[in-house]
């Protein structure tokens, strides 16, 4: 059985001393693909370095996370867009634009929210120009995001860690969007309900490391080795054979990113 981690922040500074350990964990657990999602220009550059260091296992998604907007340096947005255009067209080194999106949980300042919207739109335009898939952060903002996305000619869209509101899940599925869920699928009834309502053909697995989790993962460093437990939880919720679920998720990964993991 093979597995994939479609959303891990392998270039995060918290993982800087443990990447080799995480890659080893992935190999031992038959996790055959890790998509290193970026947060800003620095982590985008680090994701590009990691794909050179771990070819055919680590893949790069470049972008600016809404949490990073407040700390953006002069020209950082422009430089990140140029990096996406450079590596998403000529060299084809990257597999997606991500992690990008909106999050108004903390920034109550309307100017900062407007800046998030500007950055998000720039990222979507870069994805449109390169025909790259998009990985989206939508905590508390899924309604706004769902209204914005049809304005762009985007190839594939993934709503990372979809949580609320469930009432918009069916609309996302109708549009052909993909959903990623991770370790909370093992212990969160809410996430389990989302998985039940999401067709398997629209599901991908993730860890979102270095984010930490509860349940059986409490006090553990988040690792790709968690993925087999996520697939096990999905198979139980779907009342399906685990091998069939794992194989379908591999196929979903190939369909979304245009990569067949080996």
How much is the average pLDDT of 146-173? 94
**What values do phi and psi take at 210, rounded to 5?**
-90, 15
Burial 125-147 (b: 16+ CB within 10 A, else e): ebbbebebbbbbbbbebbebbbe
| Fold classified for 3-257 | TIM Barrel (3.20.20)
Check: pTM over 0.85? Answer yes or no: yes
The mean predicted confidence, pLDDT, of the chain is 95
CA distance 170 to 173: 5
pLDDT at 178: 98
pLDDT tens per residue across span 210-226 = 999 999 999 999 999 99
């Amino acid at each position: 059985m093979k597995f994939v981690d479609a959303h891990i922040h392998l270039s995060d500074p918290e993982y800087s001393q443990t990447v080799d350990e995480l890659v080893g964990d992935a190999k031992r657990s038959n996790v055959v693909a890790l998509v290193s999602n970026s947060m800003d220009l620095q982590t985008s550059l680090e994701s590009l370095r990691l794909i050179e260091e771990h070819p055919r296992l680590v893949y790069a998604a470049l972008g600016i996370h809404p949490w990073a907007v407040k700390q953006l340096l002069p020209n950082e947005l422009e430089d990140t867009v140029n990096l996406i255009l450079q590596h998403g067209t000529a060299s084809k080194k990257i597999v997606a634009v991500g992690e990008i999106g909106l999050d108004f949980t903390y920034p109550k300042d309307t100017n900062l929210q407007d800046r998030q919207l500007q950055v998000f739109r720039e990222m979507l335009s870069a994805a449109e120009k390169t025909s790259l898939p998009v990985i989206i952060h939508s905590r508390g903002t899924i309604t706004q995001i769902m209204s914005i996305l049809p304005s762009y000619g985007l190839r594939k869209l993934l709503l990372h860690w979809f949580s609320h509101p469930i009432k918009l899940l069916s609309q996302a599925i109708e549009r052909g969007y993909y959903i990623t869920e991770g370790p909370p699928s093992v212990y969160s009834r809410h996430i389990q309900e989302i998985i039940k309502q999401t067709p398997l053909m629209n599901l991908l697995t993730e860890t979102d490391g270095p984010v930490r989790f509860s349940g059986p993962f409490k006090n553990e460093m988040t690792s790709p080795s968690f993925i087999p437990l996520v697939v096990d939880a999905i198979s139980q919720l779907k009342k399906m054979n685990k091998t069939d679920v794992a194989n379908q998720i591999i196929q979903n990964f190939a369909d979304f990113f245009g990569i067949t993991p080996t």
